[in-house]
Amino acid sequence: MKFGVLRFPGSCDDVDALLAARRVGDAELLWHGERDLKGADAIVVPGGFSYGDYLRAGSIARFSPVMESVIAFAGDGGLVLGICNGFQVLCEAKLLPGALLPNSNLRFTFRQVELEVVQEQTAFTCACGLDGPSPVVLSIPAKHSWGRYYADEQTLADMEGRGQVLLRYAPGHNFNGSSNDIAGVSNERGNVFGLMPHPEHAVDELTGSKDGLCIFASMCLAVEAARV
Amino acid sequence: MSDPATLPTVEDAIALGLTESEYELICEHQGGRPNRVELAMYSLLWSEHCAYKHSKKLLRSLPTEGEHVVMGPGENAGAVDVGGGLVCAFKVESHNHPSAVEPFQGAATGVGGILRDIFAIGARPIAVLDSLRFGDPASSRSRYLLDRAVAGIGHYGNSIGVPTVGGEVYFEGPYEQNCLVNAMALGIAEREKLVRSAAAGIGNVVVLFGARTGRDGIGGASVLASAELGDDDGMRPTVQVGDPFEEKKLMECSLELLERGLIVSLQDLGAAGLTSSASEMASKGEVGIDIDVSKVFLREADMEPFEIMVSESQERMLCVVEPSNVPAVMERCEKWEVGGAAIGTVTDTGRMRVFDGEAIVGEAPVSALVDDCPLYDLAPERPAAPVYPVPAPVLAGDVSMREMLLALLRSPNIASRRPLFERYDAIVQSRTIRRPEQADAAVLAIKPLVGRPAYEISPSELKGSRDPDGPIPASAVSIDCNGRRVAADPYTGTVAAVLECASNLACAGAKPLGTTNNLNFGNPEKPHIAWQLSEAVRGLGDACRALDAPIVGGNVSLYNEGASAGPIYPTPVIGMVGRLPDARRAGRLGFAREGDAIALVGPFAPRLDASELAKLWGRQLPDGLPQIDVEAVAAAQAAVRDAVRASEVSSAHDIAEGGLAVALAECCLTGGLGARIELDDDIEYLFGECSGGFLASGERQALESLSEQTTVRMIGVVEGRSLSIGDQIEVELPELTEAYEALVELFA
């Protein structure tokens, strides 16, 4: 199992995502200017400020050569995880519904938040409930200025109906004002997933929590299962 | 060459911040009157900001050598050995005047500048800390400056992927007109790969890379940073504008150039731009440099040669490259989408020569520019009368001790900094073991944490290695200075600031390796300021010698006073870096376990003079503080440090502003646990301040055994959901929390 972690100019959490992915599998950085995904079984679009977040967060990165390949990869059913800025890129690329707006407090905010796993049987969450009670609550840090998830009411209703909301902020933890307390959503097919909090920063007790590791482990399980 | 009628006059020199006698000296060095380019170069390099005219002689008394020091003052940043072939590079710098004029960009470019200093020596920046001073938060101007400065620091640090892991902020009247914004950065490098800034190799190529050069920040060092603040708005064009995205690319590009061994030496462009960088590289290498300004990529087409030479446009670096490596350097610049141009040559002339194409437009001996600025002796004189106004009282003298505790927790100097540090990313790079409010010092793993050992990531300083069972070496860092105590007694107050940093490190389990400092003072030409400065430097040297934590770098910011407002409190900001053998045993400040005993550790002899409570009461600063027994404080630090490292205590916290009662409340709030304290002491014991007091919690026996090394007084037990101190004070945790969150309102 090999993760490909994209690296744009301005990516900041790329190495963190690489290190997190390597706790469960193999992983390699993929340069934004190249189209070759180097045989990756799953793609991580990491956090940071790709292209300085100029124009609008994620709006330039979505046109990079590597994203052409990622869009095709997702079209073939490949697993794509977008974290923070990566989530914004995936929304800009229309791989995920909705958009990320400025936090309702209008400030960059860093906070450890609790997330409820809403769907436990997906390619991105199937490992999260394996060794604990249900519903699963994950403690994961979030840090962003533009993290208020927004979609129109019809889209939200459709997403909720189809089980595309995988993670929700626990009561009291939705500091950015996201619609329906949404922290992470997948596409209809279930192979593309984006979330604002940073699971790659919650992979070791020493830095506060290892609750985020299950997201990467889930992707491993899903890829291995698809191979059998 | 130039028509004498068009040469600048002595009046022009004075307008650029030089004195008449300095101008005459320049004419001597030049063998005639300097032209505009030459005068511009001299005016910057001979400014207080670049030449340390009023502080250099004093600074020579500081200890700069020690067994851990790898790089001392004089390079872009200092560095200490942290083991395993790695060094920690660090430095603090001020951006006070730009921040007073335009707080967002002033603070942002302060962070940008200190980060460049770190990667200029080949270290990857791993952390930023900030030290801020503003006037009373009741004033809307103070709140505006604070809000925008914090936003600027966050904007730059967050966007570039370097965590902001700690800092401090104080609110005091004397900073009302002249805020302080100091930023500190740390980096990690392989010892063998450190690069110096000395230009070398006659015929080698000088390459300027990074952002384009524009008209921003012209004259920043000479006019803005080296004189008292006047009319703010007119100064705004001298403040630079930062672009963290540009710096992120520049940082990755610089580190990759070094990793591939493509450059001989490297220097960032900061104050005084190209003039300062090129001259200093030439001076350190004892060579000359020719610069052709027509080769510099410009943001605006019609810039004059002198403007190009003095521009303070941000996000630029200068390097020396062997001619055969120039194409490879350009290729790396292209990869990172960073502009690069060969703009000059290393020569054997010993002169800085500025060309515009074929024509020479200015030249000066490197030694005259860099080394021959006249240094001035201070004329220190202890002030006969108090320098600072008495603060307005905000608390009656006869309230209960319970009310005193709550008032102190609400005080802007003590209340939780959460609304500030929540605006900073403290965890990017996967090294942050202790974030703000978890411990007295930030703790960072020296290598990024990885799950399994020995993964190679390029560049090599990112190599993670972790034996799952082996120790995880970490660094701890703290930044501190209580300017009020320095104002009361510049010598003892500075000793206290150094000890405070070391105490913070001890609570995290770390031993100091080295120190950096930023001396923020008023106008040194005034005798009482000169006295503050010389006493503070004496205290700094004595304390660093006693702790074996030599000074590896720093900065001086003088003339911090408004025309009408008087000087700031003397504020020698201290940054200290230490090491702890195993991050898994890093200390925490909060009470951790119901039933743990609580001990007061160390030579604790608090006084109300110059304390936070005395300020709330509106008391005049005392003239002098009691002398500190530095050896006794150091022994207490060693005892606490050893206990933390051995995991013999559950928590450790240094007693600082607000005294014992506030420290207890902080331990309760951070740990979410109450405490019952059996003390029937007086107000001075509960709220007075001094160096050398610690609170530790843990097994009674382990705490009692600390008495072999230092004084220990068992004072209570971790218990319940309220803090009670004798019969005097009992407060439920939610009420403590409410008081402690007072700063939230400032950001509503």
DSSP string for B275-323: HHHHHHHHHHHT-EEEEEGGGS-BSSTT--HHHHHH---SSEEEEEE-G
Q: Which of B49, B68, B155, B653 is catalytic?
A: B49
Record: contact A108-B464, CB cut-off 8 A? no
Task: List the beta bridge partners of residue A66.
Answer: none
Taking 80 as the threshold, does the pLDDT of residue A111 lie above it?
yes
> Cα–chain-centroid distance for residue B199?
27
Does the active-site annotation cover B95? yes
User: What ranges in B548-623 are assigned the alpha helix state H?
Assistant: 612-616
Question: Helix B140-160 and helix B103-120: axis angle, to 10°?
Answer: 40
Question: By CB neighbour count within 10 A (0-12 exposed, 13-18 middle, 19+ buried), where does B469 fall?
Answer: exposed
Q: Is the ipTM beyond the 0.90 threshold?
A: yes
The CATH number for A170's domain is 3.40.50.880
Report CA-CA distances (Å) from B698 to B598, B653, B676, B702, B705.
Answer: 7, 12, 14, 7, 12
A8, A11, A19, best to mutate vs chain B, most B CBs in 10 Å:
A19
Average pLDDT value for residue range A146-170: 97
As a whole number of angstroms, the distance between CA A205 and CA B88 comes to 25
Q: What is the pLDDT of residue B657?
A: 97
Which residues touch B557 (CB under 8 Å, ≥6 apart)?
B94, B96, B180, B182, B225, B518, B519, B520, B521
Among residues B479, B481, B498, the alpha carbon closest in space to that of B441 is found at B479
Of A10, A12, A110, the CB nearest to B426: A110
Cβ proximity of B102 and B160 under 8 Å? no
Pick the closest to residue B311 from B330, B326, B291, B325 (CA basis): B291
Asked if B448 lies within 8 A of A19 by C-beta distance, the reply is: yes
Classified as helix, coil or strand, A73 is helix
Query: What pLDDT score does B469 carry?
Result: 64
Enumerate the active-site residues of A: 84, 198, 200
B192-199 mean pLDDT: 90
What pLDDT sits at residue B229? 54
What residue of A is the nearest CA neighbor of B462?
Answer: A15
What are the residue ranges of helices labelled H in B481-548?
483-488, 490-508, 527-547
3-state secondary structure of A211: coil
Residue type at B303? M
Chain mean position to CA A124: 9
Q: Do A206 and B449 touch (CB under 8 A)?
A: yes
Tokens encoding B454: 């020995």
Q: Residues B389-417: what's their mean pLDDT?
A: 96
- Distance from C-alpha of B187 to C-alpha of B118, rounded to nearest angstrom: 6
Q: Are B591 and B723 in contact (CB under 8 A)?
A: no
Residues 6+ apart with CB under 8 A from A106: none
Residue B458: what pLDDT? Answer: 36
Which of B146, B425, B457, B462 would best serve as a mutation to test chain A binding (most A beta carbons within 10 A)?
B425
B653 is catalytic: no
- Token pair for residue B341? 């141009």
Tens digit of each residue's pLDDT (9 = 90 or more) over A2-56: 999 999 999 999 999 999 999 999 999 999 999 999 999 999 999 998 888 887 8
Q: Please report which confidence band the pLDDT of residue A228 belongs to, taking 50, 70 and 90 as the band edges.
A: confident
Structural element, H or E, at residue A19 = helix A14-21
A184 contact B CB<8A: no
State the residue range of the domain holding A81. 2-227
Rounded distance between C-alpha atoms, residue A187 and residue B524, angstroms = 65
Q: Which of B714, B603, B695 is nearest to B650 (CA)?
A: B695
DSSP string, A106-164: -S-EEEEEEEEES-SSSTTTTTTTTTS-SS-EEEEEEEESS-EEE--HHHHHHHHHHT-
Phi, psi of B454 (to 5 degrees): 60, 55
Q: Please identify which of the residues B54, B68, B95, B528 carries the catalytic annotation.
A: B95
| Total domains in the fold of chain A | 1
Which pLDDT value is given to residue B465? 44
Residue type, B586: A
What's the token pair of residue B593? 């376990």
The confidence band for B75, taking pLDDT boundaries of 50, 70 and 90, is: confident
Structural domains in chain B, CATH included, are 588-748 (3.90.650.10)
Please tell me which of the candidates B245, B429, B445 has its beta carbon nearest to residue A10: B245
